[in-house]
């Protein structure tokens, strides 16, 4: 089926589960510019939302504009679980594969839709215990949908059950890396001791100063407690 880019729907839920990576969008734009065929986008027949191909769709939109007409593959999805499962299958193994945090977020959404841990484990090709671990990495976000608090997936390293506001959560999901605090601290200490950090970078010096102050407060509060 042929359709204009402006008539396709970029689903906010799917984009939240797997955020757009601008580096891959840039690569895809260059590929399209060079005349390469990156395959058809998979689109829900009823809603016209993109199930697979959000990065390619973003690249096409940025490169050619909303009036550009493309040929898409249509699919029929009767449940949200079916959408999520196809989303996983389409994205699990290619060059821009799902990140660990995206896998955890999708697994939690599948659990909400009624999928069993065994089924999800088979879908991702991991042990059931891994799914149980993923399901436990959540934080409580205050001021979510309708102003209510809700449990949302978090990246590895943050303490499960941590409470944060919506703005803090958005920053966490967009900016933070899924690395434990002790791993980050050990690496930074090692780099400092080995002299691997640029002393002349103003941004680095400011960031380290902020870290120094935050560490002082944290350690002092820990002594009091």
For the chain, domain boundaries: 1-76, 80-136, 139-177, 181-224
Q: Express each pLDDT in 153-184 by its tens digit.
A: 888 788 888 999 989 998 998 888 888 899 99
Q: Express each pLDDT in 11-63 by its tens digit.
A: 999 999 999 999 999 999 999 999 999 999 999 999 999 999 999 999 999 99
Return the pLDDT at 150. 83
Q: Express each pLDDT in 115-124 by its tens digit.
A: 988 999 999 9
Return the pLDDT at 95. 60
The chain-wide mean pLDDT, for the chain, equals 90
Pick the CATH number of 80-136 from 3.90.1570, 1.10.10, 1.10.3470, 1.20.950: 1.10.10
Predicted confidence band at 144 (pLDDT cuts at 50, 70, 90)?
low
Highest averaged pLDDT of the listed ranges 99-108, 133-142, 211-220 = 211-220
Which residue, among 93, 98, 96, has the nearest Cα to 110 in the 3D structure? Answer: 98
- Quote the pTM value: 0.67
Report in angstroms the alpha-carbon separations of 1 from 28, 56, 86.
Answer: 22, 17, 19
Return the pLDDT at 47. 95
User: What are the E-state strand segments in the chain?
Assistant: 2-4, 42-44, 50-52, 69-71, 73-75, 138-142, 150-153, 163-165
Return the pLDDT at 187. 94
145 pLDDT exceeds 70?
no
Return the pLDDT at 139. 86
Q: Are 178 and 157 in contact (CB under 8 A)?
A: yes
Q: Express each pLDDT in 52-81 by its tens digit.
A: 999 999 999 999 999 999 999 999 999 999
Return the pLDDT at 68. 96
Tokens 């589960």 appear where?
Answer: 17
Start-end of H helices in 65-180: 80-91, 100-112, 117-124, 128-136, 166-175
Euclidean distance between CA atoms 19 and 22, whole angstroms: 9
Tokens 């690496």 appear where?
Answer: 187
């Amino acid at each position: 089926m042929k359709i204009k880019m402006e008539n396709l729907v970029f689903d906010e839920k799917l984009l939240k589960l797997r955020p757009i990576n601008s580096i891959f969008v840039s690569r895809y734009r260059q590929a399209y510019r060079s005349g390469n065929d990156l395959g058809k986008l998979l689109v829900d027949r009823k809603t016209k939302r993109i199930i697979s191909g959000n990065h390619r769709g973003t690249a096409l939109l940025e490169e050619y504009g909303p009036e550009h007409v493309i040929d898409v593959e249509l699919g029929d999805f009767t449940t949200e679980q079916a959408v999520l499962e196809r989303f996983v299958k389409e994205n699990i193994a290619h060059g821009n594969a799902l990140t660990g945090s995206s896998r955890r977020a999708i697994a939690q959404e599948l659990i909400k839709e009624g999928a069993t841990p065994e089924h999800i484990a088979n879908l991702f090709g991991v042990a059931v215990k891994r799914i149980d671990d993923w399901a436990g990495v959540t934080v409580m976000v205050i001021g979510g949908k309708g102003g209510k608090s809700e449990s949302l997936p978090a990246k590895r390293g943050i303490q499960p059950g941590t409470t944060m506001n919506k703005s803090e959560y958005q920053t966490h999901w967009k900016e933070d890396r899924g690395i434990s605090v002790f791993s980050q601290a050990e690496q930074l200490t090692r780099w400092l001791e080995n002299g691997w950090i640029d002393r002349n970078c103003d941004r680095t010096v400011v960031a380290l100063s902020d870290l120094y102050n935050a560490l002082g407060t944290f350690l002092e509060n820990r002594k009091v407690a």
